[in-house]
Every structure is written in structure tokens, then in C-alpha cells.
Homo-oligomer: A and B are copies of this chain.
């Protein structure tokens, strides 16, 4: 299902004029809808009209900016990351939400409020805002959004932290809190530990006094990666191959077996995570990078009472109020203010160099997130 807040209308200046809002009456975040004003301001946006190879289907287009209605907010985007889920949506993969096309890419990012409509009370010019939900289309210089599509964040946190706050750290925190009652000293195991979520898990877990066992794919610069993750607070860093070796047992002489496993890979990696879990423990799956199903031993599930769950932030947000989401963001900002949570390693790329950024974001073993700056 495509949530209402994510439906938007856009009109490329050079393209045909089309009504693109499928839900009539839905006043979604009118990104750059047709405006009757004589000389509307022009903005640039990364638009795609069909699914496919991201570097080929995405185009930088000039668009008109919609008029600011009573409940609207005019936002100047500051920075917006390219996340793995953005790529998955661009290629039209098996993802929970797929937008109506044409669409502006990007689901995350931070912008600054330039102007607000007369009925807007939640934000004011100068405030920093992030999308309340995915599908906003953040890869653009400016936009007019409805107030309800946005959520304010403190403007005293680093720009990269704000631009990457709304998805990965939220996912990491909820997975650490909502499935097992963990106490300081307990351990957590995860794969894809170098991902945006993985790095947030390491840092938030460390701040909560939890020990993390972090599985990564082997690579030429493994020691460099190990050092970097340990510097973030990782207790142990092991490769997928190391995870299958008997020496894994040595880890659990010093720390308890994990009651929580976080799986973003699937396939064999998920089988191994399950094998490391303490009796009664839970594996939470939030991604499937290996493009293989989860393979789980029947006897472990029965005799060790292991639990398999899934986590999807969009579902969590549907099940919770906007105030609860706001509270979650403020909790994360507390970690940031205390220096316990930093943005993942980022490469800032100007919007017009989007092709370079898209290509870089799809390379294997890329250790830095591409962030488009406007």
C-alpha cells in the first residue's frame, strides 16, 4: 500500500502536463504541483519515470514550485542520502512501498523551512525538518510539502546526522528495544554491521551498555573496517567465514550468548546468526541483502525456542502516533548530543553529480554513504 502522505504531484517543465495524483482529494505533499502563478520559482529534482538501472532512469529536471497553501510548508532541502532502500525502489524490486511514477527519488533527508502557510503551527521559518514518512522525494533543491508530511528535528545536530536520522537509527533503536528485554552486559549479534543500521546498532548498543558481535563480509581492508567499527563501540568484529568457525565459542567465555540477533542478509548468514543465539532468543530480520531466504534449523526453533521476527519502520510508524515517532527522534538526538551517535561515514556529493553518487552507492564494500547536497 502506498501511504497517502507519500502521494505527490509533480510536473516536469519539459514534459507533458499530467494529473499524477491517483488519490483524488488527497492533499499530499504537493512537491512541485502545477502553479497558476505567472513566473513560478524553478527547482531542480532527480526524477525517474520508470524502474530500472538507477544511473540510467534518474534524470535531473527543472520543475515548478507549487504555491504555498494554508497548510503547506516551503522547504529548502539541505542534504539527502542515497540509501539501499532507495536503490531497491528505483529498480522496482520486491519492496513494501513503490511510488506512483513519475516520482522524485529519495526518502530521507533534511531541509530548512523557508516559509509556511497561514494554518501551519508546528514549524516556522528556519526550523529543520525531515520526512514524516518515506516517499517524500527528497532529492531536490526545494519543495512545498503539506505540514503533516514533515517532522521537526533540532537544528543543533550535525547536518549529516539530521539527514540520516529518520530511518536507520530509528530502525536500530526500535530493534534493540522492542523484541527482547536486554540489560546492560547482555550481547547482541548482527550481520551487515557496516550498513547504516549496523553502525547505528553498534553505537546505540554501546551507549546502552550492550556488547555487540558484528559480522561483516571479508574484504581486502578488513582490519581497517574492524578498527573503524571497534572505534564506534563494537565489542567483536568477525567475518561471515569466522562466524562458522568453532573459535566463535571463545567469544562467549567473556560475554553472554546473544538473546537478540539482527539480520539484514538472509541465506546462510541468517542460519549462522540463529546458531549463535541463546535459548529463547530472537532474530529480527530487517533486510535481505543476499537475496536469499532465511534458512532456519527446525531443531533450533523447537528445542532452543528461537523466535524469528521481522521489523519494518514504516509498519512501526503506522502502528504508532506521530508523537511517538517524535519522541523516538528526540531520544536519538540525545545520543547525538552526548556524542554517542554519529552519522555513518558519508561522502557529500552535489546534487548535479547524482550519477556518480548513484553508481558509488551500488558498489560492493562501499564503506561510506552517499549524501546529496543541494
Contacts and interface: CB of A to CB of B under 8 A. Distances in A.
The dominant DSSP class at the A interface is mixed
B299 A305 contact: no
A328 to B, nearest CB: 19
Contacts of A301: 285, 294, 308-310
Contact of A307 (B95, B292, B309): B309
A310 B274 CA distance: 13
B302 A293 contact: no
B298 A293 contact: yes
Contacts of A294: 294-298, 301
Contacts of A266: 298
A306 B299 CA distance: 20
Nearest to A96: B303
A312 interface: yes
A310 B305 CA distance: 5
A325 interface: no
A354 interface: no
Contacts of A312: 302-303, 305
A309 B301 CA distance: 7
Interface string A299-327: 11111111111111001000000000000
**Most chain B CB neighbours (cut-off 10 Å) among A285, A299, A306:** A299
Contact of A299 (B94, B296, B299, B304): B94
Total copies of this chain within the assembly = 2
Contacts of A287: 298, 302
A194 B366 CA distance: 52
A310 B315 contact: no
A308 B293 contact: no
Contacts of A96: 299, 302-303
A209 interface: no
A301 B309 CA distance: 7
Contacts of A299: 94-96, 288
Contacts of A271: 293
A76 to B, nearest CB: 33
A286 interface: yes
A266 B271 CA distance: 14
**Most chain B CB neighbours (cut-off 10 Å) among A298, A301, A308, A312:** A298
**Most chain B CB neighbours (cut-off 10 Å) among A95, A296, A301:** A301
A252 to B, nearest CB: 18
Contacts of A311: 302
A351 to B, nearest CB: 30
A298 to B, nearest CB: 3
A212 to B, nearest CB: 21
A289 B297 CA distance: 12
A364 to B, nearest CB: 19
A305 B315 contact: yes
Cβ-closest 8 pairs across A and B: A288-B298, A308-B308, A301-B310, A96-B303, A302-B310, A294-B296, A266-B298, A302-B312
9 contacts: A95-B303, A288-B302, A293-B297, A293-B298, A296-B308, A303-B312, A305-B312, A307-B309, A307-B310
